[in-house]
Amino acid sequence: MPMMCISNMMRGLALSAAMIAGIGSAMGVAPGEVRFRHEETDTTIITKLLVDTYAEGRSVPTAKRIVSIAEKLVGTPYAAGTIEGTPEQLTVDMDEMDCTTFVENVLAMAMTLDERRTSWHDFIYNLERLRYRNGRVDGYGSRLHYISDWAIDNNHRGIIQEVTDRLGQGVGYQVKTLDFISSNRDKYPALEDDSEFEKLKNAEIGYRSHRYPYIKTMNIKNAELRDGDIVAITTKTPGLDVQHMGVVKLHDGVAHLVHASSKAGKVVVDDLPLAEYVRRNRTATGIRVFRLKD
């Protein structure tokens, strides 16, 4: 399994004729409205990942594609806050990722391949659909900051489905008021703008005493997880529903997590089984599980 950072492998590499052929007309936000870390290398990396994964076969199931894309990103450095900036724009950074942007990148690529497209333009369109309320950038408050909000909005638009309560015994429910971001306004520079703060507060209103399912830590090893499942680790932290995310990869039938790890400092396939990984985390309560709709 390659551990070299893809961005270093691809830096300065020109697009091949096959890649260029895969680029179609732009969809969603125009390229000029996107904030890239390094536009040339970001777009090259995205296109190569799409072309290489598509070449593995048109009939490959979506779940297998998700795992394949996730593994290709192994070794990419971890960094938090890579999409922050004002004004709010769709931001793309393939050099560094946190757990959420890693999952978003993987899913947006899988969605693009499901459409039988291999263009970074189409990836951008799908990334915006995943990351923002109603699939459109409209300020900081339109970003789906909480996973509960992300899940409900994307489920409503037919992109993902939550399967937490379908995976066997041991499912419980948590009830929490999600207000961590507004309660920590000073940690989020975009919230210095009073209008953006009010937009965020309005979004949080829908998540007062919010009830959501989770598989308790002690029951994770018996959950019927699949390759390519998206796992969100639920938390004890007040005001917050989820503290970490990743992609499931089965090894000899045992679920492991492919994730952007702050501890490892990069994207890894975790050596620990998922059940043990969550058990060792003192602030975790269990997991929620999502699948990309075919």
Facing residues of 288 across strands?
A: 232
Cα 215 to chain centroid, rounded: 20
Q: Give the model's pLDDT for residue 115.
A: 95
The single-letter code of the amino acid at 66 is I
Q: How far apart are the first and last CA of the chain?
A: 27
- Is the bond preceding 61 in cis, omega lying within 30 degrees of 0? no
pLDDT beyond 50 at 170: yes
Instruction: Report the alpha-carbon distance of residue 111 to residue 59 in Å, rounded.
Output: 14
Contact (CB, 8 A) for 182 and 238: no
Per-residue confidence (pLDDT) for residue 110, from 0 to 100: 98
Query: Positive or negative, the Cα torsion across 168, 287, 182, 136?
Result: negative
Side-chain-side CA neighbours of residue 80 (13 Å): 7
- What is the amino acid identity at position 81? G
How many angstroms separate the CA atoms of 102 and 79, rounded?
10
Across the chain, mean pLDDT equals 90
- Tens-digit pLDDT profile for residues 239-250: 999 999 999 999
Q: Is the pLDDT of residue 133 over 80?
A: yes
pLDDT over threshold 60, residue 15: no
Q: Which residues contact 154 (CB under 8 A, 6 or more apart)?
A: 130, 144, 160
| Residue 25 scores a pLDDT above 70 | no
What's the rounded mean pLDDT across residues 105-117? Answer: 97
The answer to whether residue 251 scores a pLDDT higher than 60 is yes
90: left (phi over 0), alpha (psi -120 to 50) or beta: beta
Greater model confidence, 192 or 8? 192
Q: With bands split at pLDDT 50, 70 and 90, how would you rate the model's confidence at 58? A: confident
Neighbours of 119 (CB within 10 A): 24
Task: Name every residue whose Cβ is closer than 8 Å to that of residue 203 and which is 6 or more positions away in sequence.
Answer: 133, 141, 145, 149
pLDDT over 90 for what percent of the chain? 86
The model's pLDDT over 135-144, given as tens digits with 9 standing for 90+, comes to 999 999 999 9
- Give pTM, 2 decimals: 0.89
Q: What is the pLDDT of residues 205-223, one digit of tens each?
A: 999 999 999 999 999 999 9
Q: How confident is the model at residue 126 (pLDDT cuts 50, 70, 90)?
A: very high
Cβ atoms within 10 A of the Cβ of 32, count?
A: 6
